[in-house]
Amino acid sequence: MPQPEHTTRTVLVTGGSRGIGRAITERFVAAGHRVAATHRSGDVPAGALPVRCEITDPEQVEAAFATVEAELGPVEVLVANAGITRDTLLLRMSEQDFADVVETNLTASFRLAKRASKAMMRARFGRMVFLSSVVGQLGSAGQVNYAASKSGLVGLARSITRELGSRGITANVVAPGFIDTDMTARLSEQQVADYQARIPAGRLGAVEDVAATVEFLAGDGAGYVSGAIIPVDGGLGMGH
Ligand code: NDP
């Protein structure tokens, strides 16, 4: 079997069962890395270690890391991908809608990053990639909770960069635009058409578009990229 031309890493992807996380997992597996992917329901791509984990539960996150460490070694690349929406207008948004989205998208990312940072500091190497969204910078009517959680990831990644940058650890944010997945499948045809008209690329993004960028950030060539927001949005968010 031909040897990969890059360093192989131990990678943990959250939400590897569907959508963007599944594509990221497949890409890292295909590149020859040791990959673990979390899931709650469903399966994870062939070649990845399936790890059951509800990321809002600190004990399950701890257990997931322990499993990955035992099976594949310390996590060198963390992809905090799992996320949810609970869209509604501000006046109708409940405390629970807000709290649930912040807990899953932001607080759990903090939890994962904190746990991953221990071994990364020891190894003096680490790559953290947080899946944000174009709406984290643009804002979005009906997504006060989601946009707040996604822009929060920028402060999180940039603070990690300042704290841990000198230890060979990078922390970056990937900000997808409109990507064709289950999360966007619930939009009406009219909403999809409206979005598409605003995207300079003239098409919705594919999960592979996002996965390729995440792979770059984890790769040998991206060691000097940190605290960045990398848009993968066909130009939708330009200027932000
Ligand atoms: P999907 O809804 O298709 O998949 C979400 C994944 O997250 C699933 O694997 C799901 O697991 C997992 N997940 C959700 N909540 C939890 C939880 N509490 N604990 C563990 N796992 C959980 O989403 P996408 O693939 O579309 O999105 C992936 C990321 O990209 C998200 O952070 C999203 O906000 C972001 N993003 C997506 C965009 C898009 O257009 N699709 C645009 C911009 C950003 P399960 O299958 O068990 O539910």
The tens-digit pLDDT sequence of the chain (240 residues) is 666 678 999 999 999 999 999 999 999 999 999 999 999 988 999 999 999 999 999 999 999 999 999 999 999 999 999 999 999 999 999 999 999 999 999 999 999 999 999 999 999 999 999 999 999 999 999 999 999 999 999 999 999 999 999 999 999 999 999 999 988 888 888 888 988 999 999 999 999 999 999 999 999 999 999 999 999 999 999 976
pLDDT the model gives residue 1: 60
User: Could you identify the atom of ligand 1 that is nearest to the CA of residue 85?
Assistant: 34
Residues in the chain: 240
Residue 175 · residue 154 · CB < 8 Å: no
d(C-alpha 199, C-alpha 203), whole Å: 7
Q: Which amino acid is present at 65?
A: F
User: Could you identify the atom of ligand 1 that is nearest to the CA of residue 55?
Assistant: 19
Nearest to 176 by CA among 37, 42, 21, 14: 21
Cβ of 56 below 6 Å from ligand 1: yes
CB-side exposure of 158: number of CA atoms within 13 Å?
8
The residue whose CA is least distant from atom 22 of ligand 1 is 82
pLDDT the model gives residue 188: 85
Q: Which amino acid is present at 37?
A: A
> Catalytic one among 146, 151, 158, 215?
146
3-state secondary structure of 163: helix
d(C-alpha 207, C-alpha 176), whole Å: 9
User: What are the structural domains, with CATH classification, of the chain?
Assistant: 10-179+206-232 (3.40.50.720)
Residue from 18, 130, 146 whose mutation best tests the ligand 1 pocket (most atoms within 8 A of CB): 18
Starting at the earlier edge strand, list the strands of the sheet with 10-13: 49-52, 34-39, 10-13, 77-80, 126-131, 169-176, 229-232
Cβ of 51 below 6 Å from ligand 1: no
Reading the block at residue 240, the tokens are 């932000």
* 146 is an active site residue: yes
Ligand 1 centroid to Cα of residue 91, in Å, is: 25
pLDDT the model gives residue 4: 64
Tally helices (H) and strands (E) across the chain.
Answer: 9, 7
Ligand 1 centroid to Cα of residue 69, in Å, is: 24
Phi, psi at 49, each rounded to 5°:
-80, 120
Q: Rounded to an integer, what is the distance from CA 75 to the centroid of its chain?
A: 15
